[in-house]
Amino acid sequence: MSTLSVTIVQSDLAWEDRQANLQSFGRQIESLEGAEVVILPEMFSTGFSMRPEALAERMDGPTVGWMRDMAKKKRIVLTGSLIIEEDGRYFNRLIWMLPNGELGYYDKRHLFAFAGEDQRYTAGGRRLIASVKGWRVNLQICYDLRFPVWARQKNEPSLMEDEEDFGGPLYAPSSPAESEYDVLVYVANWPERRAHAWKILLQARAIENQCYVVGVNRVGEDGNGIRHSGDSMLVGPLGEILFTRSGEAVVHTHLLEKSHLEEVRSKLPFLRDGDSFMLF
């Protein structure tokens, strides 16, 4: 319980080609040994497309099924977002897939109006804080990074549901005496032209929430001619960069240390001085 292995998969994406992307990610995941949590980019099966009517799947569709199969086969937690349709509405939905086939999901709260995402997709209204090996993981998507209140540690109980496999409850409890979560994850299709903001904001979220932050971005050019430099990053609770890579595909595994996190929070107990608030 004192460590958590996190694997970043920074990859190019075949534009709106689910089969090609699943095959590519499948090969990369198959080669992993000893992985625990594997993180894919935003809309990993299609790229960041504004054509959900042509590309959306249902929760019983092929990509969620693929995630279930891969998680079971490799005994990992597998996460990333894809385009989901429910009741005629489209969601940019992050799936947290457990190796026993159970899942949690988070619908992107902040839709990127600059690209018209708010016109094509429905915003989510609740956060997902999952639990694995005693670590609590707050799962968010791309543009959410620009809105610090949505990620802020808060002193209220979180929803808790029993989940017997792979580390306990799907939703982790919290109390005023402890941090709400330990790791903050952002999956993204963040463009190269705004890479500076991406890198600075990832570090800021780590510092202000005294947690590990994992940002997983894509590389390559999408179907709209927008370039992505990756710059996926692992950041420690003091804002220190533990890993980053720019301009190329990479699969990187890093071991997060609970003892370091606890030491930082103990020596610098800033979170207890924060403001209590509720999100509606």
> In the annotation, is 211 catalytic?
no
Alpha-helix runs per DSSP H in the chain = 18-30, 52-55, 62-74, 117-120, 148-151, 195-209, 258-267
Is 42 a known active-site residue? yes
Catalytic residue check, 36: no
From the candidates 16, 36, 108, 199, which is the catalytic residue? 108
How deeply is 85 buried, as exposed, middle or buried, from its count of CB atoms within 10 A (0-12, 13-18, 19+)? middle
Q: Please tell me the distance from the alpha carbon of residue 74 to that of residue 55, in angstroms, as a whole number.
A: 27
Rg (CA), the chain: 17
Tokens of 187: 């999956």
* CA atoms of 219 and 197, how far apart (whole Å): 16
Catalytic residue among 36, 42, 57, 192: 42
Residue 5 CB contacts under 8 Å (≥ 6 apart), including other chains:
34, 35, 36, 37, 253, 254, 255, 256
DSSP string across 96-111: EE-TTS-EEEEE-SS-
Check 16, 74, 142, 154 and give the catalytic one: 142
Nearest alpha carbon to residue 264 among 208, 184, 215: 208
Catalytically annotated residues: 42, 108, 142
